[in-house]
């Protein structure tokens, strides 16, 4: 199966003609048809997964027009693929990610179809959509404890939800009818279960929640349809929307609704009739008294329901929402109950802070308290608030290093004055994410120059000191983490990759902070910068690339880090060992490819490559270490740059990318770097695309289009010159696509 996946990924330019590529595609289709008919090896989960990847590569490497053009095989192939997809969703609901994205991309390509050959997608797509919705609906757990329950963590299937609009709006009437048939009986059953409460209420809540996610995903994207279809779709959107609003009314929480209406930031003015009646009945005369009751209730929840993470989370969410409003926070700061919280906020008074499962809730709690603490410049209150942290850190600093490892001394550091202790803690507890995650998050906030908040005087060394301490932390933690083996090899993210992701975020933010002149470190022989770069690169490159791309947070942080490194420290990147440099460049090639579904990754890859090529072009006559290293890289991998040029041309011409401007920049700088390869690439491209051009008219036009690409473009990287090339590239792409239709 793995070999078939690679065969389906063969590049267009390897074929001598389109007819040859068409024949190759037909053979691939026939192979997959045989596998689907005979179910050869598909009973094994690994084979099943690889086969799903194979089908996804079909759409990644071939346009829908090209697939449909295989007249004698397409109908049978797409029908069998639809049956396989539906069966997969039913038997393995969490293994259909690639299949769902494939169908999404197939349907989204229907807009660009310029042929009357039937695609069968109008009839098959609703079946696929129904199978997916049913499978996830059946996977909802009644008590919410099943790890596979999609509602336990919605983030992993967020990309699937973003793909649903294309499937849902293809034959929207049929799909919406199925959604309504699933939603209405459950909504009715849920309404009946509230009086009296029924044991099935939790299951119905979960299923209705999933249906709302689906309906929201489908309604939330109106994609390119004709005006008549859009009007029809608007009517269907209305049918689905009103059901969601009905469910919201059914699920009203009366006290929450009261709070929103009379205590929210938008309704802080006193309603005389309301409070006159409340004063008469229970002595509540204004909104401040109502808010005092709500906050008192929140405090009780935090004190007496410390082990119930759900209650603590909801209570703190409400507390944070109240503190976020300007008027409401002003009122809260004057309340005795809030002043009491600010003076006594440790785990002695709020035991939920000692519960391991409340890590995020601790962050929310202190974020809310900090917001109220800083509403007014009150130095005495601030000193009192920070004193418990200082006492704890002083006590920890006086301990023997071995004692720091004991379970009783886990802590959440919150005060950067004691950075040596924090560095030591990161080293000692490197294999314990419950300790290191909050610690790294603290440093990522410390070094983040959000809205330019970090602004040191010209004569201040604080920027250098901040980065030096950050470097010490990254080195101490990274050197331990790179040798650490995850406890569960099947889930390395929680135990290792999350820490690597956080290290990349910390260093990226520090490099972009604009409060350190990094040239000073090399000038005075300070290894802080080089050590930090070396350790974080070592951590990053320890993750196999297929595993890195499996985690969206990690892959986004990786490309942001590499882009920043190429922008600010290009020479350091070029001076890396050849295997490391080639590995990074290979990852940038993957970032450019159509296999990635994250637009920002493609843009960052283009940006990183442009910085590398621009640096080389501007310094090609200089005898400096970076240029000598680059020469060694290209000497041992001579195919590296020509392959990159080919890939950039393919991205420009054949990908429906939203970042054409970004692609044109590294393409231009690379053309200036290796100009002789441009003519070679042109000849190969013309030969492969125009083999069936009998009279040679299209061939001549294609050659002329290539000639226009460099019209009025000079041999420099000045902004105006770059802009001219980008304009030419846009015209070039349109002319070539018109010739290839």
Instruction: Among 224, 241, 268, identify where a domain stops.
Output: 224
- Dump strand ranges (E) for 245-371: none
How sure is the predictor about 282, in pLDDT bands with cuts at 50, 70 and 90? low
Whether pLDDT at 599 is above 70? no
Task: From residue 588, give the alpha-carbon distance in Å to each of 609, 612, 662.
Answer: 7, 11, 13
Mean pLDDT of 437-464: 86
Q: What is the pLDDT of residues 480-524, one digit of tens each?
A: 999 888 887 788 888 899 999 999 999 999 999 988 999 899 889
Mean pLDDT of 49-56: 82
* 306: nearest Cα among 255, 372, 362: 362
Q: Is residue 183 part of a domain?
A: yes
Q: Which residues pair with 197 in a beta bridge?
A: 194
Q: Is residue 273 part of a domain?
A: no
How sure is the predictor about 408, in pLDDT bands with cuts at 50, 70 and 90? very low
Mean pLDDT of 353-378: 83
Cis upstream peptide for 247 (omega within 30°): no
Please check whether residues 303 and 413 belong to one and the same domain: no
Q: What is the pLDDT of residues 303-313, one digit of tens each?
A: 888 888 888 99
How sure is the predictor about 335, in pLDDT bands with cuts at 50, 70 and 90? confident
Please check whether residues 466 and 489 belong to one and the same domain: yes
Q: Is residue 99 part of a domain?
A: yes
How sure is the predictor about 285, in pLDDT bands with cuts at 50, 70 and 90? low
Whether pLDDT at 68 is above 60? yes
Instruction: Among 170, 201, 224, identify where a domain stops.
Output: 224
| DSSP per-residue codes, 357-402 | GGHHHHHHHHHHHHHHHTTS--HHHHHHHHHHHHHHHHHHHTS-TT
Q: Is residue 152 part of a domain?
A: yes
Look over the chain and give the mean of its residue pLDDT values, rounded to a whole number: 81
Domain containing 329 equals 286-375
Please check whether residues 46 and 99 belong to one and the same domain: yes
Question: Looking at residue 533, what is its pLDDT?
Answer: 94
Please check whether residues 126 and 10 belong to one and the same domain: yes
Please check whether residues 76 and 217 belong to one and the same domain: yes
Q: Is residue 196 part of a domain?
A: yes
Please check whether residues 218 and 330 belong to one and the same domain: no
Please check whether residues 129 and 208 belong to one and the same domain: yes
Please check whether residues 409 and 342 belong to one and the same domain: no
Please check whether residues 52 and 151 belong to one and the same domain: yes
Query: How many Cβ atoms sit within 10 Å of the Cβ of residue 318?
Result: 17
Contacts of 282 (CB under 8 A, 6+ apart): none
Q: Is residue 164 part of a domain?
A: yes
Question: Looking at residue 535, what is its pLDDT?
Answer: 95
How sure is the predictor about 651, in pLDDT bands with cuts at 50, 70 and 90? confident
Whether pLDDT at 610 is above 60? yes
Please check whether residues 318 and 220 belong to one and the same domain: no
Please check whether residues 385 and 522 belong to one and the same domain: yes
Question: Looking at residue 294, what is its pLDDT?
Answer: 82
Please check whether residues 99 and 213 belong to one and the same domain: yes
* 740: nearest Cα among 679, 698, 681, 712: 698
Residue 548: is it exposed, middle or buried by C-beta count within 10 angstroms (0-12/13-18/19+)?
A: buried
Whether pLDDT at 431 is above 90? no
* 484: nearest Cα among 528, 556, 428, 559: 428
Name the token pair of 54. 């194979």
Name the helix (H) or strand (E) containing 159: helix 158-168
Query: Number of C-alpha atoms within 13 angstroms, CB side, residue 642?
Result: 13
Whether pLDDT at 689 is above 60? yes
Q: Is residue 234 part of a domain?
A: no
Q: Is residue 191 part of a domain?
A: yes
Give the number of domains in the chain: 3
Assign 282 to helix, strand or coil. Answer: helix
How sure is the predictor about 563, in pLDDT bands with cuts at 50, 70 and 90? very high
Query: How many Cβ atoms sit within 10 Å of the Cβ of residue 450?
Result: 9
* 7: nearest Cα among 42, 47, 58: 58
Instruction: Among 344, 375, 406, identify where a domain stops.
Output: 375
């Amino acid at each position: 199966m793995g070999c078939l996946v690679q065969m389906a990924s063969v590049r267009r330019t390897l074929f001598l003609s389109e007819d040859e590529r068409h024949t190759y595609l037909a053979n691939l289709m026939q192979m997959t048809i045989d596998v689907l008919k005979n179910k050869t090896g598909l009973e094994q989960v690994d084979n099943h997964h690889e086969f799903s990847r194979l089908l996804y590569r079909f759409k990644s490497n071939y346009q829908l027009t090209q697939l449909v053009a295989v007249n004698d095989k397409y109908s049978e192939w797409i029908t069998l693929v639809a049956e396989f997809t539906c069966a997969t969703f039913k038997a393995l609901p969490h293994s259909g990610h690639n299949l769902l994205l494939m169908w999404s991309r197939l349907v989204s390509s229907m807009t660009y179809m310029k042929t009357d050959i039937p695609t069968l997608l109008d009839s098959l797509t609703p079946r696929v959509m129904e199978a997916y919705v049913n499978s996830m609906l059946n996977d909802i757990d009644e008590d919410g404890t099943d790890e596979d329950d999609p509602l336990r963590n919605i983030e992993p299937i967020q990309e699937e939800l973003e793909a649903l609009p294309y499937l849902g709006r293809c034959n929207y009437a049929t799909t919406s009818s199925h959604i309504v048939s699933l939603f209405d009986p459950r909504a009715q059953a849920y309404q009946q279960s509230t009086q009296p409460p029924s044991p099935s209420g939790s299951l119905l809540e979960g299923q209705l929640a999933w249906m709302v996610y689906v309906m929201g995903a489908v309604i939330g994207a109106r994609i390119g349809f004709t005006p008549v279809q859009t009007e029809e779709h608007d009517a269907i959107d209305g049918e689905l929307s009103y059901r969601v609003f009905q469910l919201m009314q059914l699920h009203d929480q009366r006290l929450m609704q009261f709070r929103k209406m009379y205590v929210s930031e938008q309704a802080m003015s006193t309603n005389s009739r309301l409070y006159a009646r409340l004063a008469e009945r229970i002595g509540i005369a204004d909104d401040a008294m109502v808010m005092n009751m709500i906050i008192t209730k929140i405090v009780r929840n935090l004190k007496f329901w410390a082990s119930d993470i759900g209650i603590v989370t909801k209570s703190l969410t409400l507390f944070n929402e109240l503190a976020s409003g300007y008027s409401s926070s002003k009122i809260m700061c004057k309340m005795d109950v809030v002043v009491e919280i600010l003076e006594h906020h440790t785990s002695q008074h709020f035991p939920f802070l000692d519960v391991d499962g409340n890590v995020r809730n601790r962050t929310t709690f202190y974020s809310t308290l900090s917001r109220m603490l800083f509403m007014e410049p009150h130095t005495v209150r601030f000193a009192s608030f920070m004193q418990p942290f200082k006492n704890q850190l002083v006590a920890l600093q006086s301990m023997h290093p071995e004692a720091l490892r004991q379970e009783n001394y886990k802590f959440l550091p919150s005060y950067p004055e004691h950075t040596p202790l924090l560095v030591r803690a990161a080293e000692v507890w490197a294999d314990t994410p419950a300790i290191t995650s909050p610690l790294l998050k603290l440093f990522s906030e410390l070094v983040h120059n959000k809205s330019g908040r970090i602004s040191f005087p010209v004569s201040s060394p604080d920027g250098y000191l901040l980065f030096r301490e950050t470097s010490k932390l990254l080195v101490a933690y990274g050197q331990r983490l790179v040798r650490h083996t995850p406890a569960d090899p099947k889930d390395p993210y929680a135990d290792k990759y999350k820490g690597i992701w956080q290290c990349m975020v910390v260093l990226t933010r520090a490099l972009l902070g604009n409060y350190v002149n990094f040239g000073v470190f090399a000038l005075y022989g300070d290894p802080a910068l080089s050590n930090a770069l070396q350790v974080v690169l070592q951590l990053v490159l320890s993750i196999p690339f297929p595993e890195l791309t499996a985690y969206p947070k990690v892959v986004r942080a990786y490309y942001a880090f590499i882009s920043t490194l190429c922008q600010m420290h290009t020479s350091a990147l070029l001076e890396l060992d050849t295997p490391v440099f080639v590995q990074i460049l290979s990852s940038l090639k993957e970032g450019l490819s159509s296999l990635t579904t994250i637009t920002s990754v493609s843009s960052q890859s283009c940006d990183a490559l442009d910085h590398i090529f621009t640096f080389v072009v501007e310094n090609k006559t200089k005898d400096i270490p970076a240029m000598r290293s680059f020469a060694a890289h290209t000497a041992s991998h001579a195919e590296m740059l020509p392959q990159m040029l080919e890939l950039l041309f393919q991205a420009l011409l054949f990908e429906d990318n939203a970042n054409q401007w970004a692609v044109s920049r590294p393409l231009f700088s690379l053309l200036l770097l290796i100009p002789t390869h441009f003519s070679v690439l042109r000849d190969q491209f013309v030969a492969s695309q125009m083999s069936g051009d009998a009279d040679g008219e299209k061939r001549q036009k294609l050659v002329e289009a290539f000639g226009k690409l460099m019209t009025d473009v000079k041999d420099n990287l000045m902004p105006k010159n770059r802009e001219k090339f980008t304009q030419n590239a846009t015209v070039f792409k349109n002319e070539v696509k018109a010739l290839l239709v």
